[in-house]
Amino acid sequence: MRSSHICTITIIAAFMALAEMPARAQQFDNGLAQPVFSTSNLITHSVWVEVPNLDTDRDGINDRIRVQVRRPAVTESGVRLAVVLVASPYSGGTLPFPRYDIDIPLYVPGKPGHDNYTAPDDPPPPFDPPPPYDGTDPPINTLSSSSYQSYFLPRGFIFAYAQSLGTGHSTGCPTIGGIEESLAMKAVIDWFNGIGSAHDANGAAVTAYWTTGATTMIGVSYDGTLPLAAASTGVEGLKSIVPIAGVSSYYDHRRSYGGIMMSNPTLGTDADTLFDNILTRRYPEVCAYMRDQIVQGMDRLTGDYNAWWHERNYVQYVDQFRAAVLISHGLNDLNTKPRMFARLWDALTTHDVPRKIWLNTGGHGDGANSGSRQVAWRDMLNRFWSHTLYGVDNAALDGPKAAVQRSGSVWADYEDWPVPGATPTTINLVPSADNTIGGLQLASTRMGKPIFEVIVDNSALDATVLAAAAQSPHRLIYKTEPLAAPVHISGIPAVSLRMSFNEPAAIVSAMLVEYRANGTRAIITRGWADPQNRKSLSETFAIQPGTPYEIAFELQPHDYVFPAGSRIGLMLLSTDRLFTLRPPPGAELTLDTTKSTLLLPVVGGAAAFGVAVP
């Protein structure tokens, strides 16, 4: 009986082996990778990839990026698969955010002793000389299983998790978007392709014999920014990227037309406090010098665009991209705001980079990978990766380039974004009486003498309160008549304002508001500017009180349909307490309504707007 039992086990094992055989090669059906790889015996291991000629922690040793790998067991038998690389500064944990005081006076150039830069409490202390890295490696951590990994790993995609410079068990120092972080990701991708070197926890040299070298990157927020950093190097082997709520320009993330901006919900943070938040490596004190460089480079005093910010503007490097791009972003993201995707998309279009974009109605996060659209999103991603990583001819990049969410379960596909036919349409302001409500119309209001209206700043009042008020000295509101037909805007609204100020420093904020037929209202999008940067993002010019200036700036991009019966509103104010600094109240902003306009990207242009607002 025992020998018979052994024979039975052998036969069963043979059949199981035969059953496993189809899983030894990639399979596609209708252009989609199929779940044919077993995940019951995955191989998990860590490597440390050296970054050539980079020593940000100044220990005399090339910086090393820790990469955790999870792959099907068949990759030990000669099967090579493509890699999904998830790079993050957060996988090693995070530290508390220091916060700046944002209830402060505004910077006035040339004013003696006036400085709005006050460092948060307890920055890392300086250490000189820095202690050397001791070279020991941690035990392999258990990999948390993401929803993407659970779905795609059985379909033949290796998952690799990289800890960015100065975080977790990587060495080096974070640079918050600097070239060093880009080069670190390039080194990892190069190593997948047999370029460079890496070691295991015991110091033994290792190679990536289990991968084809074809790599994609995906992530959310900072994890969605590092794919752009990697693509900016033009590294071969990076076939595609999926930046979700990523930062395409660190200046636009932390500044707006010279103004210091907030990233909700972490008010009072900046590039240096983000550095403090992610610096989780051993011996963090060796990176104190880098923090000092970040503080100097980001220039929180003037808010000017400079070389430090320019290096962190990935839009300028789009002509170097070899990777196809699939963007996912929330139209109501208050953290990495919609300007991130819009300017990136424009550059991708200019340089004809293979691309698609999904815009959801949510805030900061992975809005497409949830709810009723999740199946379609994963099918799109599967098709995209099957094409870019495995060369499957599945029309992944054909057809409409843009998908825009209209409501919870309603999405619309468009040939491009902004939606074709969206045309910048000039809307004129009709002055109000006694700070009540003015009008918006196509017809020019520039006839006759200037008509002035005044805003008195009060940083204690939230914009939602001001939008609801029937009358207030602290904002100006201009509305259309109730719309006779829907108005679809797609693109970037902007304002051109002729203003004077009674003080040498001020904030100018503009908001597009929907006033609904049922009496409720919602702020659709916002924009902010420092009038000291009216001539240039890179240079501050003093304000002479009483002198009128042209202040022109864009609001955050959006794609929105104002329904029939609602009114489109423009609200102008000074401080926007959710997003700007909060100076003492009392500054007066005087608007010349006859020389100020709103520019709306209306689908159908002035003709469509004229039908809705006869």
Read out DSSP for 236-302?
TTEEEEEEES--SBHHHHHEETTEE--BTTBTT--HHHHHHHH--SSSGGGGHHHHHHHHHHH-TTT
Q: What b/e string do you get for 417-435 counting C-beta neighbours within 10 Å, with b at 16 or more?
A: bbbeebbebebbbbbbeeb
- Separation of CA 559 from chain center: 17
- Residue 120 pLDDT > 60: no
Q: Residue 229 has what pLDDT? A: 98
- Tokens 């939008």 map to which residue? 467
Return the HEC string of 512-567. EEEECCCCCEEEEEEEEECHHHCCCCCCCCCCCCCCCEEEEEECCCEEEEECCCCE
**Closest among 235, 248, 591 to 431, alpha carbons compared:** 591
Task: Assess whether 5 carries a catalytic annotation.
Answer: no
**Would you place residue 146 in the very low, low, confident or very high pLDDT band (cuts 50, 70, 90)?**
confident
Return the structure tokens found at 279.
């610096």
- Domain topology for 422-612: Jelly Rolls (2.60.120)
> Torsion angle of alpha carbons 142, 145, 146, 150, nearest 10°?
150
456-494 tens-digit pLDDT: 999 999 999 999 999 999 999 999 999 999 999 999 999
**Would you place residue 436 in the very low, low, confident or very high pLDDT band (cuts 50, 70, 90)?**
confident
Q: Residue 127 has what pLDDT? A: 45
Tell me if domain 19-316 and domain 422-612 are identical in fold: no
- Residue 141 pLDDT > 50: no
Return the structure tokens found at 411.
């999405």
Report the pLDDT averaged over residues 401-416: 96
- Residue 10 pLDDT > 80: no
Phi–psi pair at 411, nearest 5 degrees: -120, 150
Contact 65, 254 (CB under 8 A): no
Contact 348, 319 (CB under 8 A): no
Q: Provide the CATH number for the domain formed by 19-316 in this structure.
A: 3.40.50
Q: Residue 11 has what pLDDT? A: 30
Contact 211, 188 (CB under 8 A): no
Task: Assess whether 333 carries a catalytic annotation.
Answer: yes
Report the pLDDT averaged over residues 170-197: 98
Identify the active-site residue in 329, 364, 387, 474: 364
Report the pLDDT averaged over residues 379-400: 98
Give the global pTM: 0.92
> What span, in angstroms and rounded, lies between the C-alpha atoms of 599 and 417?
18
191-242 tens-digit pLDDT: 999 999 999 988 999 999 999 999 999 999 999 999 999 999 999 999 999 9
> What span, in angstroms and rounded, lies between the C-alpha atoms of 576 and 460?
9
Phi–psi pair at 26, nearest 5 degrees: -60, 140
Identify the active-site residue in 59, 304, 333, 576: 333
Judged by average pLDDT, the poorest of 233-247, 421-435, 438-452, 570-584 is 438-452
Return the structure tokens found at 584.
């003492």
Identify the active-site residue in 182, 221, 472, 490: 221
State whether residue 510 is helix, strand or coil. Answer: strand
Contacts of 527 (CB under 8 A, 6+ apart): 256, 257, 493, 494, 495, 509, 510, 511, 553, 554, 555, 556
> What span, in angstroms and rounded, lies between the C-alpha atoms of 8 and 505?
86
Domain ranges of the chain: 19-316, 422-612
Q: Residue 1 has what pLDDT? A: 37
Per-residue DSSP letter, 177: S
Strand ranges of the sheet holding 81-88, from the earlier edge strand across to the other edge: 198-199, 43-50, 64-71, 157-163, 81-88, 211-220, 238-244, 324-330, 355-360, 402-405, 411-414
Q: What is the mean pLDDT of the chain?
A: 91
- Tokens 């679809």 map to which residue? 488
Q: Residue 570 has what pLDDT? A: 98
Q: Residue 118 has what pLDDT? A: 53
> What span, in angstroms and rounded, lies between the C-alpha atoms of 601 and 148?
36
Percent of the chain with pLDDT over 90: 83
Task: Assess whether 351 carries a catalytic annotation.
Answer: no
90-99 tens-digit pLDDT: 998 899 888 9
Please tell me which residue, 114 or 469, carries the higher pLDDT value: 469
* Vertex 535 angle, CA 530 and 541, to 5°: 65
Q: How many CA atoms lie within 13 A of 478 on its CB side?
A: 23
**Closest among 403, 400, 399, 396 to 359, alpha carbons compared:** 403
Strand partners, 160: 69, 85
Return the structure tokens found at 267.
């008010």
Is the sign of the CA dihedral 21, 22, 24, 25 positive or negative? positive
Percent of the chain with pLDDT over 70: 90
